[in-house]
Each structure stands twice: as structure tokens, then as C-alpha cells.
Amino acid sequence: MEKSIETIWKEGFLKNDALIAPKLNNLYNQKSIDIVDKFKRMYKINRIAIIAFAFIILPLSFLVKIPYMGIGMFFIFSLITFIANKFSEKLYKLDKTESSYQYLISFDNWVKEMAATNTKLSRFLYPYVFIVMVSGFWFGSIGGDIPGNKLVNFILLKFPNTYLILGFPLILIIIALIIMSLLAYFGGHIGKWDLNLGYGRIIKRLKVLLADMDELRN
Amino acid sequence: MSNDFYTSSILPYSGIIIKICRAYTDTQEDFEDYYQEVCLQIWRSHSNFKEQSKWSTWVYRISLNVCLTLLKKKRNKENHFALDSLPDEAIEDSRSFVDESLNQLYQAIKQLSEIDRAVIMLYLEEKSYQEIAEIIGTNPNNIGVRIKRIKERLKKLLDGKVN
């Protein structure tokens, strides 16, 4: 070796081509594609998990003799998967050939639409899940007996003046209605919390990225 | 990131950013990604700069941190996905400088460990041992010995190639 490394370094970088800074164009291209692709993967896993759960709970509910719960759950989880699949189709239609800013704006709009639908659905979902679970256990079977009838008999024995509507104690109907109302009222919040739990980090990254890009454009 | 910030606070130091990014990447595409990410991080974190060190030291530190983080992420990703999809041999650097000696020196530097690469580049940029230690986050007393060892390794690597 004739030259020292110090000399090679100094002389080498004196040549014109050595230190040409790349242009800061398409700065967010890869980032935009990465963030959406990651979301797509997570969303797909989520959908598979929901439908798998629906198919597991259905036979299981028959096995443990609470079929109403299984059927109700299967129905609602299938419906959720159906809606999610519809959203997924829209997600896959987002145009990657648009500018990264436009691509992210489209994705952000999609997220907002999906979150709004999720919030609306949650207002019905949680009360529905509650009533399905209660019905499942109420009309189920424990050792050949129907737990709901046993409970009504027990209440009537203890409180003979209990008022019944269609064979259900009024007090239980009121309690169930209060719980369902609370679940309907807070369902939207629970839905948002649930969404944040799964996708919060990626949505936060999306917001930061969009804020950066907005600043870059102005 | 405004053009003003880029022109006044990043562009004058683009040389060192380029040198560092080149040492941690194998392709022009990766190099451009790393360079852009470094610029972004400098811009994002410039409000945290407390003037306790020189701006150039801040730029060096961010450049190295970003490159090392991206390199780690890239390796994790490669390990995460199917290993059999990777090429059998190490990826050759597809880029070259006009100066052949500089090309050989870069190839030799890229055979060093990630931290040794950082140390030798800072040394070649004539940073003091104190500054190198500050940027790397190590004891300045060890820097001299480490540089001596790295230079010997580089000399061997270069001699192997030149002769």
C-alpha cells in the first residue's frame, strides 16, 4: 500500500463525483407503502382471527349445551368479517401509483371511514353480545335442566310477589336493559379503545407522517 | 422540512452524511433511503439541539444512529422473512467512486464491524478522540488504541487487495 488511508480518504473525496447529495424527492414513498402494507397485514390477520373464532365457538357451544350463544356469536362475527372484507376490498383498491401524499390521504380517509363504521357498529355489537351470552346461558342446559327456569323458580320461591313478563322476572329485565343501555352508550368508546389497542401505533405513525408531509408541502 | 433548513443546516454537512450512509449501505437505493432518513431525523430533532456540542457533532451522531438503526431493522427483516430468499453470497456494492483507491478503502471499511466503521470515519474526518468518544458514547482513553487496531486491519485488507 503506497498511500496512507488518511491520504486516500482526503484525495478521494476531492474528486467531484464523490459527494453528490441525493435529491430529497419521493422522500416518503417507501414509508407510505410500508405503513399501508403493515396495516393490510394486521387487518388480514384480524379478519382471519374473527372468522376462526366464529367457526370454533359454534360447534363448541353445541358441545357445552349453550347453542343459542354459539349461533348468535357465529352470526355476529360472520357479519363483522363480512363488513371487514368489504372494507378490505376498498383498502386494496387504493392507488399506489398516486403521489405518496395522495396515497396516504386516501389511506387516512379509509381509516376514518372504517373507524366511524366500527364505532357505530360497536354501539349495537356490545349490547348484542351481552344479550346473546345471557340468552345462551339462560336457555342452555345443565344436567338436563334449563338454567333460566331454575333461576326463575328460585326467585319466585324467595320472592313470591315477583312480577313476571312473558315468564321473565321484571327485575331481571330491568337490570338487563340497564346493562344493555350502558353498553350501547359506551359501545362507541369501547370500540375506539379496541381499535386503538390493535392499530393505535400504526394510526399514530400515519398521523406523524401526514403532519411531516403537510409541513414539507407548505 | 423547509428548504431553508435543509440548505442552511444540513447541506453544509451533507458530505459526512453521504460518507456515513455509503459505509452502511450496498446499493444506491438503500443509500438514498438512508440519506433521506438521516435528513428527516436531523430536521425532526433539531429542536432538541442544546448547543452543548457543535452542530456537526450532532449531525454525526444522528447520522450514525439512524444508519445503525436502519441496518438493524434491515437485518431483522431479512432474518424474519425466509432465509432461503436471500442470495447465497454477500451483496456486492454496486456503486463506485471515480477514485479507485477510495473504492478499495470503502470496501475495506465495510468489512469492519459497525462501530469500527463509525470510529474510523470520524477519525478520517479529523475528529478529536474526545469528540469521537462523545459521538460513539465511549471512553476517550480507548479510542486511540482502537483506531490503531482498525488502521492495522485496514492496511492488511488494502494490502491484500492492492498487491
pLDDT (0 to 100) of residue B90 = 46
Give contacts of B102 with chain A, Cβ < 8 Å: 8-9, 11-13, 15, 18
User: What is the average per-residue pLDDT within A48-69?
Assistant: 92
pLDDT (0 to 100) of residue A189 = 92
Give contacts of B124 with chain A, Cβ < 8 Å: 5-6, 9
**In A, residues 4-33, which contact B (CB 8 Å cutoff)?**
5-6, 8-9, 11-13, 15-22, 24, 27, 30
* Dihedral of the alpha carbons of A140, A146, A150, A152, in degrees to the nearest 10: 70
**In B, residues 51-110, which contact A (CB 8 Å cutoff)?**
97-99, 101-102, 104-105
Band (pLDDT 50/70/90 cuts) for residue B83 is: very low
The answer to whether residues B63 and B34 touch, using CB atoms and an 8 Å cutoff, is no
Tens of pLDDT along B2-32? 567 777 778 888 888 988 998 898 888 888 8
The answer to whether residues A58 and A17 touch, using CB atoms and an 8 Å cutoff, is no
Band (pLDDT 50/70/90 cuts) for residue A17 is: low
Counting beta carbons within 10 angstroms of the beta carbon of residue A207, is it exposed (0 to 12), middle (13 to 18) or buried (19 or more)? exposed
- Name the residue among A2, A15, A24 with its Cβ closest to that of B97: A15
Mean pLDDT check: name the lowest of A111-120, A130-139, A207-216, B128-137.
A207-216
Residue B48 has pLDDT above 90, yes or no: no
Mean pLDDT check: name the lowest of A9-18, A97-106, A193-202, B88-97.
B88-97
Q: Cα separation of A106 and A147, whole Å?
A: 51
User: What is the average per-residue pLDDT within B31-48?
Assistant: 84
pLDDT (0 to 100) of residue A16 = 56
Tens of pLDDT along B134-144? 888 888 888 88
Q: Which residue from A minimizes the CA distance to B35?
A: A22
Q: Which residue from B minimizes the CA distance to A214?
A: B1
Domains of chain B: 1-90 (1.10.1740.10), 96-163 (1.10.10.10)
Mutate to test the interface with B, among A2, A4, A5 (most CBs of B within 10 A): A5
User: What is the average per-residue pLDDT within A60-72?
Assistant: 90
Residue A97 has pLDDT above 80, yes or no: no
Band (pLDDT 50/70/90 cuts) for residue B81 is: low
Band (pLDDT 50/70/90 cuts) for residue B88 is: very low
Give me the total of CB pairs closer than 8 Å, taking one residue from chain A and one from chain B. Answer: 71
Give contacts of B15 with chain A, Cβ < 8 Å: 13, 19
Q: Which residue from A minimizes the CA distance to B154?
A: A5
The answer to whether residues A119 and A192 touch, using CB atoms and an 8 Å cutoff, is yes
Q: Cα separation of A38 and B35, whole Å?
A: 23
Mean pLDDT check: name the lowest of A7-21, A38-52, A70-84, B37-51.
A7-21
Residue A55 has pLDDT above 80, yes or no: yes
Give contacts of A8 with chain B, Cβ < 8 Å: 99, 101-102, 104-105
